[in-house]
Amino acid sequence: MNCKLSLGSQKSMKNAAQNPKYSLIIPIYNEEETIPELYHRISKVMNRLDGLVELILVNDGSQDRSLKLIRELHQSDSRVSYLSLARNFGHQTAVTAGLNFARGQAVIILDADLQDPPELIPEMVDKWRQGYEVVYAQRLKRKQEGWFKRFSAYLFYRLLKRLADVNIPADTGDFCLMDRRVVNVLNAMPENNRYIRGLRAWIGFRQTAVKFERDPRFAGEVKYTFRKSFSLALNSLIAFSRVPLRLSTYLGLLSAAAALLMALLVLYWRLYQQNSPITGLATIMIAIFFLGSVQLVCLGILGEYIGRIYEEVKGRPLYTVAEIGGFKDSTIYHRTPQQSLISDVRQH
Ligand code: UDP
Ligand code: MG
């Protein structure tokens, strides 16, 4: 892997002259209402940055007019390139695709709905110049998000902090700046299950936070339904912690201890007491249901891990690309860690 990375960095040094200094990656799923305002605000920030900037819009299988708007932006502004995934692959995968294609020395990820204010980027760039390889944005407050979302996010990040093997900073999202070295490592990581803020924490290097207040979504509906958020939470817990597996061992030990205690009690009552309090069907039913459910929960936990092993061993590419615009042909290939070839892409 070292060899691969050093080759990559040699190549990137050679290309540095024509490569942009900054890459901004924005995943887009049905964001037709926000794209014009997003471009308006982001282009102001792009003009302020010192160096060549590329804006990579990743269309994640939108069903509305997003792709059309993206194409128009690409035609009117040469700094805008885009790729359009062949279907909806989900936020984390869309961002991964953008990372695979980005060429900048500093790569910035942000959401399309302006909940991650682009105006924070210059501050992140300052930190990068000071020598930090990862600058992540940390939410101080979530404005106008429902109590349930705020409460569940609060609980989840604390739980993750307790359980995960790496220290994933609480209240951070994917909004961050990463140095080319970190992006190279991220791109070389082979796993299919990509929880980017976790992988980013795992990689290490010098990391720091910039604080911000999270604005409400600019327009449109939240694209992360409860189901998607829940599945992201579960994925991250399982990808970064083996504690749930250990939980089944603990549950097993606990119920074994309870069974032993019961056996001793029953024996005692049988031998020394006339009227044993443990009689009848109800007790047996409770014991059966209790043990049955403990076993099912443990099986479920095992299943979660095995399912993910299955996903990983299949070794499928992370995504398929239907159309790209603004990338040179040479950058189309080698993209995913599995070296999958994304062929027959419509180039615009
Ligand atoms: N998004 C995506 N694919 C999806 C869902 C969301 O690319 O399947 C994008 C969406 O367009 C937005 C970002 O991911 O740019 C975050 O989505 P959203 O704002 O709905 O979620 P939040 O993080 O605010 O809950
Ligand atoms: Mg949002």
Confidence band of 330 (pLDDT split at 50, 70, 90): very low
Residue 278: its pLDDT value, please?
63
- What does DSSP assign to residue 348? -
Task: Give the global pTM.
Answer: 0.74
Which of these ranges, 163-177, 223-237, 307-321, has the smallest mean pLDDT? 223-237
Pocket test for ligand 1, best of 144, 224, 235 (most atoms within 8 A of CB): 224
295 or 277, which is more confident? 295
**Which residue, judged by its Cα, is nearest atom 21 of ligand 1?**
224
Residue 131 has pLDDT above 90, yes or no: yes
CA of 282 to the centre of ligand 1 (A): 50
**Which residue, judged by its Cα, is nearest atom 17 of ligand 1?**
223
Which H helix or E strand runs over 50?
none
Residues ≥6 apart with Cβ < 8 Å to 138: 169, 170, 171, 172, 209, 210, 211, 212
123 or 259, which is more confident? 123
Instruction: Let me know: does 84 contact 321? Beta carbons within 8 Å.
Output: yes
Q: What is the DSSP string of 139-198?
A: EEEETT--HHHHHHHHHHHHHHHHH-SS---TTEEEEEEEEHHHHHHHHH---SS--HHH
For the CA atoms of 248, 253, 258, 260, what is the dihedral angle to 10 degrees?
140
Residues ≥6 apart with Cβ < 8 Å to 269: 276, 277, 278
Query: What is the rounded CA–CA span in Å between residue 321 and residue 311?
Result: 20
Which of these ranges, 24-33, 202-211, 228-237, has the smallest mean pLDDT? 228-237
Query: What is the rounded CA–CA span in Å between residue 142 and residue 123?
Result: 20
User: Where do the DSSP E strands lie in the chain?
Assistant: 22-28, 53-59, 80-85, 106-109, 134-142, 172-179, 207-214, 321-325, 346-347
CA of 17 to the centre of ligand 2 (A): 35
- Index of the ligand 1 atom closest to the CA of residue 221: 20
Mean pLDDT of the chain: 82
Mind listing the pLDDT tens digit for each residue in 151-185?
A: 777 787 787 777 777 788 878 889 999 999 999 99
Q: Is 339 left (phi over 0), alpha (psi -120 to 50) or beta?
A: left
108 or 344, which is more confident? 108
Give strand pairing partners of 321.
85
Residue 145: its pLDDT value, please?
67
- Index of the ligand 1 atom closest to the CA of residue 112: 15
Beta carbon of 29 within 6 Å of any ligand 1 atom = yes
- Index of the ligand 1 atom closest to the CA of residue 89: 8
| Residues 226-242: b if buried by 16+ CB within 10 A, e if exposed | eeeeeebbebbbbbbbe
CA of 29 to the centre of ligand 2 (A): 11
Confidence band of 195 (pLDDT split at 50, 70, 90): confident
Beta carbon of 223 within 6 Å of any ligand 1 atom = yes
**For strand 22-28 and strand 53-59, is the pairing parallel, antiparallel, or unpaired?**
parallel
Query: What is the rounded CA–CA span in Å between residue 282 and residue 320?
Result: 56
143 or 212, which is more confident? 212
CA of 122 to the centre of ligand 2 (A): 21
Residue 3: its pLDDT value, please?
39
Report which of 74, 50, 214, 47 is spatially closest to residue 28, judged by C-alpha positions: 74
Written as six digits, the tokens of 274 are: 């006339």
Q: Mean pLDDT over residues 317-342, rounded?
A: 64
CA of 224 to the centre of ligand 1 (A): 6
Q: Mean pLDDT over residues 309-319, rounded?
A: 84
Which of these ranges, 3-12, 29-38, 272-281, has the smallest mean pLDDT? 3-12
Pocket test for ligand 1, best of 223, 226, 227, 228 (most atoms within 8 A of CB): 223
Give strand pairing partners of 316.
none
Residue 120: its pLDDT value, please?
92
Please state, for a pLDDT cut of 70, what percent of the chain lies above it.
Answer: 86
Instruction: Let me know: does 211 contact 140? Beta carbons within 8 Å.
Output: yes
Query: What is the rounded CA–CA span in Å between residue 131 and residue 338?
Result: 31
Residues ≥6 apart with Cβ < 8 Å to 176: 108, 109, 124, 134, 135, 136, 137, 197, 200
> The tokens 């911000």 sit on which residue?
212
CA of 291 to the centre of ligand 2 (A): 42
Mind listing the pLDDT tens digit for each residue in 84-123?
A: 998 999 999 999 999 999 999 999 999 998 888 999 999 9
Query: What is the rounded CA–CA span in Å between residue 206 and residue 197?
Result: 15
Residue 15: its pLDDT value, please?
46
Beta carbon of 113 within 6 Å of any ligand 1 atom = yes
Mind listing the pLDDT tens digit for each residue in 48-97?
A: 999 899 999 999 999 999 999 999 999 999 999 999 998 999 999 999 99
